[in-house]
Structure formats: structure tokens, C-alpha cells
Amino acid sequence: MSRLIVWRHGNTDWNANHRVQGQTDVALNALGRQQAVDAAELLIKMKPDAIVSSDLHRAADTAATLAALAGLSITHDKRLRERYFGNWQGLTMTEVAELYPDQHYRWTHGQEVGGDVESLADLGSRVSEALHAAAALASPGGTVVVATHGAAARQGIGHLLGWPLEQLRTLRALQNCHWVELTHDRERGWQVAAYNVGPFTDRPVPPPV
């Protein structure tokens, strides 16, 4: 049985201010850097064979904390980037609701947003492709850690598991520096072993954007 850990990046100032990041390359803040260190100290116990990351700095720098402990290099994959949110990027969610009320309504109700926002179908497809590629790096029975983003992680996992959007919406958003543990074997395929695991269970959940 092989294992895939899908890990959300640490906190950023835009997370803290409920500002839409999307594919804007926002750096970790001091809290996010500490979260990454604390999470890495737990993840190193899983003895990862490989580490793969989005090339955006908030994910890549999160992954780097684990790579330093594990003595591994990082493979960067652009397919693991966050969902592209178009004109929403840089706005607070309050501003999005004011400027794009119809799109905001569709987003809050789990529908395709439209406009220049990347579709959920496209997001799920590209991220799940990256997850498959990352899983192939594991030795037999080994573990690969993938550092990515909130919306990307949830939609990519859902696509990988073949879940409909309605089922995927029942999952709570991943907290910063929390992860999903997936296992795979020939008989059962992909299964969720653990969800939203990490060292900061008492912190509020910033929007996964």
C-alpha cells in the first residue's frame, strides 16, 4: 500500500485578511512559516520518499521545511497551483460579493462561477493529473508528500476519487498546513485515510482561495 499526503500551505497575510489569492504569488507570513515548521516535524515521521510542490512560493516554501528535515529535493509542478480566480484575485471576499454578486452567489452554492474564473472541472482534472504523477514517485509501500493549495487540494482529491461535486462540498475546507492522507492498493484503489490533519486544530479556517 502506498500513501499520498496532500498538504495545504501555511498562512499568508492574504489568508488572514480573507483576500483571494488564486494564482497570485503571495509569500508565507511569520505564522505560516512557523506552521510549516511544526507540520514538517509531524510529517517527517511518515518517512517520505519524495516531495512535490506547486511552484507558487507559499506552497514551495512550506514544502522546503519538510525537504530540509528529510534531506530530499523538491519536484515543482505547475499543475498543483491554486485555482485561477481571474478578476477576483487581490480582492477581499466582501469586495467580490459587492462587485460580482452573481458569480459570488454561484461560488457560495458550489456552482461553476463562470467568467474568467477557472472551472471546477478543469481544476480537478489538472490537479488530479499532478497527484497521479506524484504518487508514481513512491517506492513500493512508500509515501509522497504534495504541497498545494486549499481549493486545488479538495478539487484534485475529489477528481482522483471520482466524487461528484455534491459529495465534495460536504468536506470542510482544509486549514493552513493541514493535510489529507490518501492510500492506494490494487484491490481498493484510492481511499481517504485521514482528512484535515495537522498541528493547529483550534485555529479558524481561512477561505481556501
Catalytic residue list: 9, 82
DSSP assigned state of 203: S
For residue 58, say whether it is annotated as part of any ligand binding site. yes
Q: Is 12 annotated as a binding residue?
A: yes
Q: Is 10 annotated as a binding residue?
A: yes
Q: Looking up cell 507570513, which residue turns up?
A: 29
Establish whether 9 is an annotated binding residue: yes
Q: Are 6 and 158 in contact (CB under 8 A)?
A: no
State yes or no: 203 annotated in a binding site: no
Closest CA to 10 of 157, 198, 187, 202: 198
Torsion-angle region of residue 45: left (phi > 0), alpha (psi -120 to 50) or beta? alpha
**Which helix or strand (DSSP H or E) is residue 6 part of?**
strand 2-8
- Distance (Å, rounded) from C-alpha 108 to C-alpha 208? 12
- The annotation status of 162 as a binding-site residue, yes or no, is no
Q: Tell me whether strands 189-197 and 50-53 are parallel, antiparallel or unpaired.
A: unpaired
Element (H, E) at 122: helix 120-135
Residue 11 counted as an annotated binding residue: yes
Q: What sign results for the dihedral spanned by CA atoms 119, 113, 28, 26?
A: positive
Residue 197 host element (H or E):
strand 189-197
Binding site as annotated, residues: 8-15, 58
Binding site as annotated, residues for substrate: 8-15, 58
